[in-house]
Amino acid sequence: MIGRRRPIRIGLSARIFHPELGGAGIRSRTLQVLEQSVAQWAMSRDVLVLMVPSVVADGTLLRSNIRLRDYAEYLDGLILQGGADVSPQAYGEEPLRPEWNGDAVRDAYELELVHEFMEARKPILGICRGMQLINVALGGSLFQDLPTQFPAASGHETPAYDRNSHTVKFVAGGKFVDWFGGGVEGKVVSIHHQAINRLGRGVVVEAEGADGVVEAIRWDGRSFVCGVQWHPEFHAQFADDDLLDCAPLLEAFLAAAR
């Protein structure tokens, strides 16, 4: 159609499922997937969403000249979705328990993505793990496990999964206050046991929980880099729960992408 504006192209980082020990069929393969709710949340604003697969320079299958830098140049923005723990080794620590090893393969892939999109001055929005990954990419660290290392924290991960919610408060004078029309707090869906410990370079806090856990961050640099610990993509599912309408966050990200 003449005059139709090109849709914004947003990349979505992949969740990586590694082959299961003793697995057969599809369980013996490496899977790269996206969570439907994240894609649909972004697509609610007529956005073209494309999953960015990891690029293995010296892989055992087919080599390619395509690099993650090519995706950063082609796409208008990046969303980092949730998933596995960030490996403590990514911020210079050893796992306190074996189950907190995280996924070093995914870390390397997403850290490179963050680097390339920041170099290209393309906007980045991190969700849950994505926010933690941004902080680590900028030299920060995480609590490997809130109940162990920050016992004053409330229950940020429960069997209720996507029905677990709590209130966050926006930092006065921050961007979130502006984006959310002067609002000071909101109820959000929370599913995590790790959280930001030491802030990365140029990282400022935009929201906190009543227990002091960092709930939203922003990079005070030359491009839009922002993360939230909660899951805005789940909020539309439970509109009856008086959850925070996260449309302003999506609009701010897409405005930067335009």
SS (H, E, C) the chain: CCCCCCCCEEEEECEEECCCCCCCHHHHCCEEECCHHHHHHHHCCCCEEEEECCCCCCCCCCCCCCCHHHHHHHCCEEEECCCCCCCHHHHCCCCCCHHHCCCHHHHHHHHHHHHHHHHCCCCEEEECHHHHHHHHHCCCCEECCHHHHCCCCCCCCCCCHHHCEEEEEECCCCHHHHHCCCCCEEEEECCCCCEECCCCCCEEEEEEECCCCEEEEEECCCCCEEEECCCHHHHHHHHHHCCCCCHHHHHHHHHHHC
Catalytically annotated residue among 116, 206, 215, 233: 233
Q: Mark whether 231 is an active-site residue.
A: yes
Q: Mark whether 192 is an active-site residue.
A: no
Catalytically annotated residue among 156, 192, 231, 235: 231
Catalytically annotated residue among 128, 156, 192, 246: 128
Q: Mark whether 226 is an active-site residue.
A: no
Residues tagged active-site:
128, 231, 233
